[in-house]
Chains A and B, each alone.
Chain A
Amino acid sequence: MNPIETPKTYQDYVDKKSPNSPIIKNCFNAFWVGGLICSIGQIILNICKERGFDTQISGTIVSILLIGISAFLTGLNLFNKIGKFAGAGSLIPITGFANSIVSPAMEYKSEGYVMGVGGKMFTVAGPVLVFGISTSIIVGIVYLIFNTQSITLV
């Protein structure tokens, strides 16, 4: 083996020996799992539209179904296996929101059904709702003040 002379060659040597950074693999898995979950949502959305629901109601049905499915998958300990594999791929879609409600609730089940399950459900989902709803109120007020197309394009 050649002696390692410069920092450059040493760095190359380290790069060759150390395992590949898993970020590419993680991103790939996140990409296709996330894309798949969204595509399932799109298929449900299309079926709802075909059955005559309007866009708003169809979107709500999609959310309810995906949330329900992932909540029960979390309860059956299947979702964390998907999550371990897919990372953000199952976290970023609305499935991750349901998962973030059920996971802490399961863990604190021993503290009782009211304060344990009922209370800890919102350890992660609580902040999401607080910031999401607060932002929507601010958006509404800003829209009210600058009620022009130039500020809010909607």
Chain B
Amino acid sequence: MNINWSNVFDWMMLLKCFVTGGLLCVIGQILIDKTKLTPARILVIFVTTGAILGGLGIYKYLVDFAGAGATVPLTGFGYSLAKGAIEEVSQNGLVGAFIGGIKATAGGIAAAVFFGYLASLISKPKMKKQ
């Protein structure tokens, strides 16, 4: 299969992606350094914020602008959840609210469970303090 590498390395898109993804991480870093929030809470805040912004239709513009720069950070995970729920609701009504979110993110969640378990099995428990 032919791959057009100039489409793969679309530098303008990569730049927008790099800057947007980087800035989202800087927001997280400021939350870590300036507040007493634990990383777990920051992850929860990012996913929930992404889902709310996705539901309001705002996050879509960021995805259109930055591609993976907006979908790879955890806000993008929340966005996919909300987007899936909305799409499924518009097709199947109320039951769609319960189906759509996980349906849209099923691949990621299943991969996280499966690879997470495998990786834990092969890992050597090592004391972190050297």
Residues of A at the B interface (CB closer than 8 Å) are: 22-23, 26-27, 30-39, 41-47, 49-52, 56, 59-64, 66-68, 71-72, 74-77, 80, 87-89, 91-94, 96-98, 100-102, 105-107, 109-110, 113, 117-118, 121, 124-125, 127-129, 131-133, 135-144, 147, 152-154
Top 4 A-B pairs, shortest CB-CB distance: A38-B21, A140-B97, A153-B57, A34-B25
**Chain A min CB distance to B125 (Å):** 5
Chain A residue with Cβ nearest B50:
A132
B33 touches A26 (CB 8 A): yes
Count of inter-chain pairs, beta carbons less than 8 A: 316
Whether A74 contacts B119 by the Cβ 8 Å rule is yes
Assuming the A-B contacts A38-B72, A50-B4, A62-B72, are A125 and B120 also in contact, with contact meaning beta carbons closer than 8 angstroms in the complex? no
- B123 near A34: Cβ-Cβ < 8 Å: no
B-to-A contact residues, CB < 8 Å: 1, 3-4, 7-10, 13-14, 17-34, 39-40, 42-44, 46-48, 51-52, 54-58, 60, 66-69, 71-74, 76-78, 80-86, 88-90, 93-94, 96-98, 100-102, 104-109, 111-113, 115-126, 128
Identify 6 residue pairs between A and B in the complex whose beta-carbon atoms are under 8 Å apart, listed by A's number: A50-B7, A72-B118, A77-B126, A88-B29, A109-B123, A135-B55
